Amino acid sequence: MGEQEFVVQQFQKAFAKWQGECFVLYGLGKNTKAILGHTEGFQFAGLMDANNTGNEFWGLKVLDEEEVLALRPKIVIIAREPVVPVIYARIAYLQEEHGLQIYNFKGELQGQGADTYANQGLPYWDVTEEGLKREILTHDCISFDIFDTLLMRRVLEPPDVFWIVEQRLEQMGHTGNQFRLHRIHAEQSLAGYPALPQIYGELGRRYGIPEGVLTEWMELEIQTESHVIVPRRSVVGLLEFALGHGKKVFLLSDMYFPKRILENFLTMNGIRGYSGLLVSCDCQKSKADGGLFQMYKQETQGGSYLHIGDNRRSDGEEARKQGLDTFLVYSAYEMWMASSMQGTLSHVRTLGQRCILGNLVWHCCENPFAFHLGKGVLTVSSPEEMGYIFLGALYDEFTMWLLRKLREEGIEQLLLPARDGFLVEKLLLGANSTGQPENLFEAVYFKASRRAVSVPAIKSKEDILLLAERGFQGTFGELLLQRYGIRPKAGDPKKNCSLNGQGTEAIQEYVLSYLEEILRHAKKERVEYLDYLDSLQLLGGKKQAIFDFVAGGTVQYFMQKLLGREQKGFYFATMGHPNRKYQLENSISSAYGNIQPYALENNVARHYLFLETVMVDGYPTFTCIKDGKFLYGQENSQTAGNGSCISGKENSSHFQAVQKVQEGVLRYQKDMQRLRELSGGQWDEREFADMLFGKLFDGSCQVVQGIGQEFYNDDAFDGVKPYSVWNGSEG
Backbone Cα Rg of the chain? 31
Q: Given this model, what pLDDT does residue 682 score?
A: 79
Tell me the one-letter amino acid at 506. A
pLDDT in tens, 302-324: 999 999 999 999 999 999 999 99
Q: What is the pLDDT of residue 1?
A: 63
Over residues 695-718, mean pLDDT:
87
- 21-30, 260-269, 385-394: segment of lowest average pLDDT: 21-30
Does the pLDDT at position 709 exceed 90? no
Which residue(s) pair with 415 in the sheet? 444, 546
Residue 416, strand partner residues: 445
Q: Mean pLDDT of all residues in the chain?
A: 91
462-493 pLDDT tens trace: 999 999 988 898 999 999 999 999 999 999 99
Tens digits of residue pLDDT in 544-586: 999 999 998 999 999 999 999 999 999 999 987 777 788 888 8
What gap in Å lies between CA 240 and CA 249, rounded to an integer?
9
Three-class SS state of 345 = helix
DSSP secondary structure letters along 213-240: HHHHHHHHHHHHHHHHEEE-HHHHHHHH
pLDDT at 292: 97
Judged by DSSP in three states, 104 sits in strand
- Residue 416: its pLDDT value, please? 97
Res. 199: pLDDT tops 50: yes
Taking the C-alpha atoms of residue 543 and residue 580, their distance in angstroms, rounded to an integer, is 24
- Decide which of 302 and 715 is more confident: 302
> What does the pLDDT read at residue 29?
87
Closest alpha carbon to 235 in 317, 152, 350, 315: 152
Sign of CA dihedral 101, 107, 110, 113: positive
- Residue 59, burial from CB neighbour count under 10 angstroms (0-12, 13-18, 19+): exposed
Helices (H), 470-503: 476-484
Residue 644, pLDDT score: 55
| The pLDDT of residue 708 | 84
- pLDDT for 114 beyond 90: no
- pLDDT of 677-696, one tens digit each? 888 767 999 999 999 999 99
**Strand-pair partners of 274:** none
| C-alpha–C-alpha distance, residues 694 and 700, integer Å | 9
The beta strands (E) that lie in 660-725 are given as 701-703, 712-715, 720-724
Q: What is the 3-state secondary structure (H, E, C) of 574-629?
A: EECCCCCCCCCCCCEEECCCEECCCCCCCHHHHHHHHHHHCCCCCCCCEEEEECCE
- pLDDT at 534 > cutoff 90: yes
Q: Pick from 250, 301, 306: which is nearest to 279 by CA?
A: 250
Tell me the C-alpha distance between 140 and 136, whole Å. 8
Q: Which amino acid is at 2?
A: G
Closest among 318, 296, 242, 379 to 704, alpha carbons compared: 379
Q: Give the mean model confidence (pLDDT) for residues 51-67.
A: 90
Share of the chain above pLDDT 70, in %: 95
Q: For the stretch 533-566, what's the b/e string if a residue is b when 16 or more beta carbons lie within 10 angstroms of its beta carbon?
A: beeeebeeeeebbbbbbbbbbbbbbbbbbbbeee
Phi, psi (degrees; rounded to nearest 5) at 603:
-75, -30
Provide CB contacts within 8 A for 326, sequence distance 6+: 306, 307, 308, 309, 315, 316, 319, 320
pLDDT band at 153 (very low <50, low <70, confident <90, very high): very high
- pLDDT score at 641: 47
Lowest model confidence (mean pLDDT) among 282-291, 389-398, 609-618, 706-715: 706-715
Residue 648: per-residue pLDDT: 55
For residue 136, give the nearest of 10, 13, 240 by alpha carbon.
240
Quote the pLDDT of residue 333.
94
Q: So what's the pLDDT on residue 576?
A: 79
CB 456 within 8 A of CB 526: yes
Amino acid, single-letter form, for residue 570: F
Length of the chain: 731
Q: What is the CB neighbour count within 10 angstroms for residue 407?
A: 13
Q: Say what the pLDDT of residue 115 is.
A: 55
